[in-house]
A and B are shown apart, each in its own frame.
Chain A
Amino acid sequence: MAQNVLDPLDDATARVLQGEESAFDEIVEATSARLVRLAARLMGSVEEGEDIVQEAYLRAYRSLVDGSFDGRARLQTWLGRIVTNAAIDALRSRRRREERDVALGAGSSWEGVPSADGASLAEARVALAELDGWLGELPAEQRIALTLKAVEGMSSGEIAESMGMSEGAVEQLLVRARTALRKRRDSHGA
C-alpha cells in the first residue's frame, strides 16, 4: 500500500509557507548540526561557521515568509547552497582584510585554538586550524571546491549545484587547487 509520508523537513517547510512561522524552529533544529559542520570546514573555524549559518537561516526565513522560495530545490540543498556562497564571500573578505593588515603592518588576527570544549571537539578545532592554515592561501573558490570534494565527500555534480557553476568548472578548480598545494609542498620540501 502506497503511503504519502512527508519528510519532517518538507513538512516543516510546507507549514512555514502556509504561515506557521514557528515551524521554522524545527528546520533549525533538524539542520543546524550538519550546516555548522559544513560551514566550519569551509571557513576553518567554528565561530565563523556559526555566524555564516545564522545569516543563512535569516535569509532562508525571509525567503520562506515572503514567498520567494520557489521550492525547486529541497530545503537542505538550498540552505547548503546559501552557506557555501556565504563562505566564498566571507573568505574573500577575510583575504582582503588580511592583505590590508599586512600592508598596514598589523599582526595576525588569529586567536589560537580555543580549548576545553571536550576532547573530540578540541581535536576537531585543531584539525580545522590545520585545514585553514593549509588551504588558506588558495583562492576562495578553489578552497571551497576542494573542501566540498575531499572533506565533505560531495560529487562534482553536487559541488557544481552548490556553487552555481558547471561540473567542468568545478573540475578545473579542483585541478588548480591540487596543483597549488603540490607546488607549495615542493617549495617547502626544496
Chain B
Amino acid sequence: MVHDRDEAFIDERLARISKETASLRPRPDFRRRVQRALDAEREADSRRIFVRAGRLVLAAAMVLAIGTLAFAAERNRAANEATAISYGVEELEW
C-alpha cells in the first residue's frame, strides 16, 4: 500500500516535470553557436584536405628526386665505366 503510494508519487512528480518542461526550446543564440562550430569544422576540413594534398605533392616530389638522383648516379657510373674502358683501350694501344 505504502509502496504503491510511493510509486504513484514518483510517477506523478515526473509526469508534472515532463509537462512543465514540454515548452523547453534552445536559447535564441543556439543555432548561431552550432553554425559557428560547424563552420570551424568545415574550415578545419579544408585545411586538412590542403595539408593532405601538400603531403602527397611532397611525397611525389621526393620520389621524383630520388629517381632522378638514381638515374644520374647510374648515368655517371656508366660514363665512368665507358671512360675507364676507353682509357684501357688506349693503354693497350699505347
Residues of A within 8 A of B24 (CB): 36-37, 40-41, 46, 121, 124, 128
The complex places the Cα of A21 from the Cα of B46 at a distance, in Å, of 12
Residue A151 at the chain B interface, CB threshold 8 Å: yes
The complex places the Cα of A156 from the Cα of B85 at a distance, in Å, of 90
Residues of A within 8 A of B45 (CB): 65
The complex places the Cα of A147 from the Cα of B26 at a distance, in Å, of 19
Cβ-defined partner of A50 (8 Å) among B7, B13, B26: B26
Contact of B34 with A151 in the complex, beta carbons under 8 Å: no
Residue A73 at the chain B interface, CB threshold 8 Å: no
Residues of A within 8 A of B21 (CB): 37, 40-41, 124, 127-128, 131, 151
Cβ-defined partner of B13 (8 Å) among A124, A134, A153: A134
Main secondary structure of the interface of B (DSSP, over half): helix
Residues of A within 8 A of B74 (CB): none
Contact of A150 with B20 in the complex, beta carbons under 8 Å: no
**Smallest CB separation, A104 vs chain B (Å):** 31
Residues of B within 8 A of A54 (CB): 30, 33-34, 37
Residues of B within 8 A of A127 (CB): 16-17, 20-21
Contact of B27 with A50 in the complex, beta carbons under 8 Å: yes
Mask: chain A, 46-66; 1 = CB below 8 Å from B; 0 = not: 100010011001100110010
Given A58-B41, A65-B45, A182-B3, check contact A33 B26 (CB 8 Å): yes
A contact set with B: CB distance below 8 Å: 21, 24-25, 28-29, 32-33, 36-37, 40-41, 46, 50, 53-54, 57-58, 61-62, 65, 117, 120-121, 123-124, 126-128, 130-131, 134, 146-147, 150-153, 178, 181-182, 185-186
Give the 4 A-B residue pairs with the shortest CB-CB distance, closest first. A150-B14, A127-B20, A36-B26, A120-B23
Name 11 A/B residue pairs within 8 A (Cβ), A-sorted.
A33-B26, A41-B24, A54-B33, A54-B37, A123-B20, A123-B23, A124-B21, A134-B13, A151-B18, A153-B18, A182-B7
B contact set with A: CB distance below 8 Å: 3, 6-7, 9-11, 13-18, 20-27, 30-31, 33-35, 37-38, 41-42, 45
